[in-house]
Structure 1
């Protein structure tokens, strides 16, 4: 990037932070001025994350360009570094590449742990182990190998941080964990992290399941977060390659963007979620009653293409789902299950969303997962206006969403989202 362009972008970032201070929870226009790369930080955040400013107060001394894992960690300065900072990602950061430039594999992470997949399969076969919680040497060895991988690929993002991808920027196989407040992540391509050591859980559902660690972005307990104009997919590790053990898919992926542990005041806007199963989780446990009154999330103007489920799946939260586009033509190996998951005490307000889903019917939009409260208007399914709440017999929400300052008409949602969502739109 030229020096003049960088200077313009930095100025726009500061301006964006100042503008965001006055934003309420109404949806604001994050689509307006799409011309020029600087617009990626000049547009104003809206929705529940409207007070997010990220690193907008950063000085030139705390403005960085990073090109690999080591320089990223150095720029972040540790999880407790609250100094405002702006970090530009240039090129590709592969989090499974160490500081010597070596690509680390499952064998590297498992070295010295004693973990062996064949012995693991033999130890915990459902026919002999049954449905009790795992214990023993092979599970301990698997856990240590998983911890070795986590030490390499998990990055904790401190407060008051903006991470921006320069054109073509990629973040491969890593998990950004946001546990501190006031963070912005924009214009990055994420290849969802691949857990080399999935765990067998005999107690998950009636037949057990393989479960994995690592989301592309995990927001855990943090408030004021804005995720905007990013692209997420499974990249070089599609689920079709997973294989099956114990009769269940050997799942190496977890979520794309998950919001848990009382995370609050978040806006997820203009992203592309593509080719993924468990896409967006808001609230991760029925027993976490402390999540009540938190998990306020706005999900707006995103493209969900060939996603299976959880777009989003909500527990306890009050969530706005506005002007999103859902596409699945049935030819992908990622088969649609549902869009909006109603978990315990969830309340979803859905406005002007468009779903083009082959081999599905309108009642499939909603999955009741111990929750019942959803109100929708302006929903279009395969070209027809529908009331998802009526078809699924949901109860109305009991909170009053702030009216969006700008609400795209349903008949314009597809064109708007297709032209404006994802990384590298704002060049």
Structure 2
């Protein structure tokens, strides 16, 4: 296991940065909620963040295969960057989400402000022909439940687990575990990115274990995304939604399996962020067939979803029946399980 943050946050601090001073300067009781933070401490925080980025972002070039050796191979605290690359494979790694040492306070984010962080465990940025297989994406030693609160808000030090963005295309993500995270997997990161993303972001997601996640499994903009044979284990206390239907997205979600806790309605599985049609067929919830679109539209009659993504996936290999998905995925997905 490679530990990219072994040096600790103190190693990245820029001259003059003092977190206690930062908290005092931008306390909403002093600064308010109407203006983004600025001044010497914010400048020092940004410089510190740049130091951390230089240290933990690891760039993977074209024509590269990264395979973990053994059952315990992985990387802690780094952000794998597949940027402007072609023909890249990443397999059999446990990727512990990096901790942002220097989150930024944004008093204008929502009604009460929010702490915003950087660094996904992996980013596919304007890259093509990428295969991410049998990896485990996790918060590991640092779940959100271990993080403190400042100004009454969670001091969020995690961003996402995986982003596929900025013109990335022809990406297959298979047999991975995504667990214990809030904002998990984003395909397309801006409604305004049509120039780079429209006609691209073609992504296949299959045979994953999505375990106890908050949201974005995935959230999609623009892309044709084929999500099939994935198993979702939902935790009631942290759950928002699974599939985010975003701007100009064309999601096909078929033969997936969901385990919902008591009191969690199937109408929460889909979330409409923008009017975009999708195909959702032959999915099951707690072992029973479920029409996810109908469940959403019953729960959210003011924001109905439309059927038919307008395309048919043609590149699937193994496809399991939905009742078999949990039994196939749970023992075989994730790092250390390449057979």
Partner of 2:131: 226
Residue among 239, 254, 267 paired with 1:351 = 254
CA distance in 2, matches of 1:354, 1:206: 35
Q: For 1:310-340, what per-residue CA distance to the aligned partner results, in whole angstroms no more than 9, with x for missing partners? A: 000111111111000001354xxx6111100
Larger radius of gyration: 1
CA distance in 2, matches of 1:208, 1:374: 33
Q: For 1:295-334, list aligned pairs within 5 A.
A: 295-330=201-236
CA distance in 2, matches of 1:93, 1:412: 35
CA distance in 2, matches of 1:162, 1:411: 34
Q: Is the 8 A contact 2:267 2:292 kept in 1?
A: yes
Partner of 1:399: 311
Moved over 3 A (4+): none
CA distance in 2, matches of 1:233, 1:403: 28
Larger mean CA deviation between 272-281 and 397-406 belongs to: 397-406
CA distance in 1, matches of 2:191, 2:34: 21
Q: Is the 8 A contact 1:329 1:356 kept in 2?
A: no
Structure 2 length as normaliser, TM-score? 0.92
Q: Is the 8 A contact 2:89 2:131 kept in 1?
A: yes
Relative distance call for 1:373 and 1:177 in structure 2 (3 A) is: same
Structure 1: 5+ residue runs without aligned partners? Answer: 1-91, 97-102
Q: For 1:184-199, list aligned pairs within 5 A.
A: 184-199=89-104
CA distance in 1, matches of 2:20, 2:275: 40
Partner of 1:119: 21
Residue 215 (structure 1) aligned with residue 117 (structure 2): no
Q: For 1:7-406, list aligned pairs within 5 A.
A: 92-96=1-5, 103-110=6-13, 112-127=14-29, 128-167=31-70, 168-179=72-83, 180-290=85-195, 291-330=197-236, 335-358=238-261, 359-392=263-296, 393-396=304-307, 397-402=309-314, 404-406=316-318
Q: Is the 8 A contact 2:287 2:323 kept in 1?
A: no
Larger mean CA deviation between 126-135 and 264-273 belongs to: 126-135
Structure 2: 5+ residue runs without aligned partners? Answer: 297-303
What is the root-mean-square deviation of aligned Cα atoms in Å?
1.5
Q: Is the 8 A contact 1:354 1:413 kept in 2?
A: yes
Q: Secondary structure at the match of 1:420?
A: coil
Structure 1 length as normaliser, TM-score? 0.74
Q: Is the 8 A contact 2:185 2:218 kept in 1?
A: yes
Partner of 2:299: none
Q: For 1:13-70, what per-residue CA distance to the aligned partner results, in whole angstroms no more than 9, with x for missing partners? A: xxxxxxxxxxxxxxxxxxxxxxxxxxxxxxxxxxxxxxxxxxxxxxxxxxxxxxxxxx
